[in-house]
Amino acid sequence: MPRAPVVGKKVLIVDDDEQHLRMTERLLRSAGYDVVTRTGVLGTSFVVTSERPDVVLVDLNMPMVNGDRLVPLMTRGRFEPPYISPYVVLHSGVEANELERRARECGADACIPKGLAPKQFLALLADCLVKAAAALELREGRDG
């Protein structure tokens, strides 16, 4: 699958673990992404609407509301045109099969486990951008 160019691509990271959040933010910025961060779920829908990220990385286990409860609030046509729901990626340190199951169940577009080598993480995120662009093109073609 071809890699998507990252310049001008925006990623929103929602993670209560500030150390992991900052580490991921630095990695993405060094790779050329624009990055917006949230340490909690409150106000995330507003940030999604105002910042219009290409991809949202959502931690699974967070206080108050788990990521798999937040995902449906950002998907399934919740936003008004011209903005289409972002490509949502569940991002967690839980076992890979459990992460995939939870991502499927909550309607996330993809999942990326925590703890990957930086190159592997960036490659998976780039694949998500390619898939997000293809999904957007498909939706726009269907709506237009």
* pLDDT of the residue at 115: 92
**How many separate domains does the chain show?**
1
- Does residue 3 lie in a domain region? no
pLDDT for 117-141, tens place per residue?
A: 999 999 999 999 888 888 767 655 5
What's 119's domain CATH number? 3.40.50.2300
Q: Which residue has the higher pLDDT, 106 or 82?
A: 106
- Does residue 2 lie in a domain region? no
**In whole angstroms, what is the distance from residue 5 CA to residue 138 CA?**
19
- Does residue 4 lie in a domain region? no
pLDDT for 37-92, tens place per residue?
A: 998 877 777 888 888 889 999 888 777 766 667 676 666 555 454 456 788 899 99
Q: Is the pLDDT of residue 35 over 70?
A: yes
Q: Is the pLDDT of residue 7 over 90?
A: no
- Does residue 52 lie in a domain region? yes
The pair of three-digit structure tokens given for residue 30, joined into one six-digit string: 């060094």
Count CB atoms within 10 A of the CB of residue 87.
Answer: 23
Confidence of residue 30 (pLDDT cuts 50, 70, 90): very high
Residue 135 domain boundaries: 10-143
Cα separation values, 37 from 23, 28, 117, 142, Å: 11, 11, 21, 32
Q: Is the pLDDT of residue 2 over 50?
A: no
Cα separation values, 87 from 18, 63, 64, 75, Å: 22, 23, 23, 8
Q: Which residue has the higher pLDDT, 67 or 10?
A: 10
- Does residue 5 lie in a domain region? no
Q: Which residue has the higher pLDDT, 35 or 40?
A: 35
Supply φ then ψ for residue 116, to 5 degrees.
Answer: -75, 160
- Does residue 1 lie in a domain region? no
